Amino acid sequence: MLRLKDKIALITGASSGIGRVTADLFAQEGATVVAADLNAQAGEAVVTSLRERNATAHFIRTDISQENDAERLAAEAVKVYGRIDILINSAAVFVLKGLEATPQDWRLSLDVNVMGTALVTKHVAERMKQGGGAIVNLASISSFVAQPNFITYSATKGAILQMTRNMALDLAPYNIRVNAVCPGTILTPTVERYMAQQGMTLDQINAAEGAKTFLKRIGQPREVAHAILFLASDEASYITGASLLVDGGYTAQ
């Protein structure tokens, strides 16, 4: 049985990493996917790939930090498919700085990760209110623990965690559930670029970062996508305002 049959799912940051794998998984589970991303070429490639596998998909180039774009994204998704049932706020930038962060660093991190998530949710939720729906925000282990030289990133992920709780409270009267998934270190293109820069192998990154977890390895994007799928599906119908850690036990220590 397809878990998202006949659902319309909007996924930001859908061109790579966890967002892209989530788009693939949602399509496999029967969802119509609206993929949003700033990278038009990569986003179109995702949609082409989904259509080649007989999925229904549509790409909308979006800069989520701009309210006009966020509003246009929600409006176009509804114009094309009639409604939005699921929103996955996956788009993010990774500004990893400590106290040396410049005002420009802070603006980029806050504009995309915090304000972008808020703006997309604002305009999608307005269009969800009549029929209800599910929203999943991508937070992080960085929402919970301190990490060296992570102030800019961790601040945004801490904000997303609290935003999730407040959104869940405010949108509950409209039967809209809002939850957060909080990944640990996941083998995304960002981590792969870091490995390449450092000349590290997968065994070495597992030894360095995976060793900090109970399971002694870093995670795979699909492992996070399955957690997102659960919270977005009707199987999680009595879960809202929650945060699901997908971190191999990192934060349980």
Options 3.40.109.40, 3.40.50.150, 3.40.50.20, 3.40.50.720; CATH of 8-184+221-246? 3.40.50.720
Mean pLDDT of the region 93-107 = 97
- Domain ranges within the chain, ordered by starting residue: 8-184+221-246, 186-218
The predicted-structure confidence for 159-181, as pLDDT tens digits, reads as follows 999 999 999 999 999 999 999 99
- The DSSP line for 13-30 is TTTSHHHHHHHHHHHHTT
Is 194 labeled as catalytic in the residue annotation?
A: no
The predicted-structure confidence for 106-146, as pLDDT tens digits, reads as follows 999 999 999 999 999 999 999 999 999 999 999 999 999 99
Q: Catalytic one among 153, 194, 238, 250?
A: 153
229 band by pLDDT with thresholds 50, 70 and 90:
very high
Residue 75 pLDDT more than 90? yes
Whole-structure pTM value: 0.97
The confidence score (pLDDT) of residue 36 equals 98
The confidence score (pLDDT) of residue 53 equals 96
| Mean pLDDT, rounded, of the chain | 97
The confidence score (pLDDT) of residue 178 equals 99
What span, in angstroms and rounded, lies between the C-alpha atoms of 110 and 125? 21
* Percent share of the chain, pLDDT over 90: 94
The confidence score (pLDDT) of residue 173 equals 98
The confidence score (pLDDT) of residue 190 equals 87
Residue 33 pLDDT more than 90? yes
Given phi > 0 = left and psi -120 to 50 = alpha, else beta, which region is 12? Answer: beta
Q: 3-state DSSP call for residue 249?
A: coil
The confidence score (pLDDT) of residue 30 equals 98
Q: For residue 245, what are the β-bridge partners?
A: 182
